[in-house]
Structure formats: structure tokens, C-alpha cells
Chains A and B, each alone.
Chain A
């Protein structure tokens, strides 16, 4: 069974540009989480989607946005990129809001570099 897949694995952008990151959850999982991990730091919660809806949002500016598609895959968009947006962006999936006991399955991440 395929795990969580993320694309692209690496992305290089310049300040002011937009970045789009994609995530496909494990088959049967309806919840998708996005995290930002700057170099040497812990995971910072960005967004949580379940059943196509945004369920929760971390303390990030509105230029960080996303959506979840009917097939439960998800997209993270970062507009007006800033140098400090350079980080590893991790996507995780779980079985859903009602049954979620905290077990998340992570992808390998997308490394975004802003020059």
C-alpha cells in the first residue's frame, strides 16, 4: 500500500513568487495535515483538512492557504514568498477527525528554498 506522497521533493523560488505543494494521503484517509519545519526546528502546525473542509489553522499569515480535493489529496499554496519561508513542508494523513487518536502518517516532505 502506498504511503503519503508529496511533490515536488525540492522547489526553488525567489522572493515574491508563489509556491504550490501537493500531497496525496494514504488510501482511505480523509484527514490531511500540513506542517512547516524550518532547519533545526520542530514542527509548526499550518493547516488541517478533513472531508474537504479546513478544520483548523495554525498561527501563519493568510498568504499560507490550501485546499483539499474530493479525492482527499491536498494542496498548500504560499503566496508572496519570503526568505523565512524556506523550510521542509511536511504533509501527514490520518483516518479522520472523528477517529483520530493522534497517529499520523507522514510523507517525506517538500523542501522549499526561497532565494
Chain B
């Protein structure tokens, strides 16, 4: 099974751009890459999902190189409320063999 690897923690300041990279060397052809945000004692919340190249929504951008062995979540102009744990999720397999693999998460601290 493929493993995802993310930095354990990151620090930033309000107004800066934050980039969090996830490695997934054994990603399968039909797998998507999804990022989630989690605040303490709450369930994770979907941020963005992509398959290749670049995806952008109102809260983040996701950059995926051609080989798809990594992905980078970009948060523009972070604020204190962006302090949370960010998870990279890669879907493996299909049908009954599907097992969603979660990374350990990156704890982002945004400072004033």
C-alpha cells in the first residue's frame, strides 16, 4: 500500500502564503488527491481535491506535478483561524478493495 508523507508541523504568520507538500510515491492511476482541515475535537472538513495539474477554489490551490507522486496545498494569506491540522488523502484501489490512506497530518500554527 502506498504511504503518504507530510511535514509534522509548520509555522507561519498572518498574511503569508503557506505551502504544504504531501508525498505519495505509489499513487494509482485512478486515484484522486484530497486535502482536509481539522480543528481540535471536530471532524475533518474537505478543502480541495484534484487529479492532476492545478485546482483552485475559494480557499486554496492544489498543485500536482505530471508524475503525481506529490501534491502541494497552497493557502493564500493565512489568518489565525487557519491554525489547524491539514491531512493529505489519497484513494487507493477501487470497489471493494478501496482503502483510503490518511497521512499523519501537518499541524499548522499561524502566529500574529
**A residues touching B (Cβ–Cβ < 8 Å)?**
4, 33, 41-43, 45, 48, 55-56, 88, 90, 92, 97-98, 100-109, 111
Contact = CB atoms under 8 A, between A and B. Distances in A.
Contact of A42 (B31, B46, B97, B104): B104
A101 to B, nearest CB: 5
Given A45-B99, A103-B34, A109-B41, 19 more contacts: A33-B100, A42-B103, A42-B104, A43-B44, A43-B87, A45-B102, A56-B98, A56-B99, A92-B43, A97-B96, A97-B98, A101-B32, A102-B100, A104-B89, A106-B44, A106-B45, A107-B43, A108-B42, A109-B43
B91 A106 contact: no
Contacts of A98: 95
Given A42-B87, A100-B91, A56 B96 contact: yes
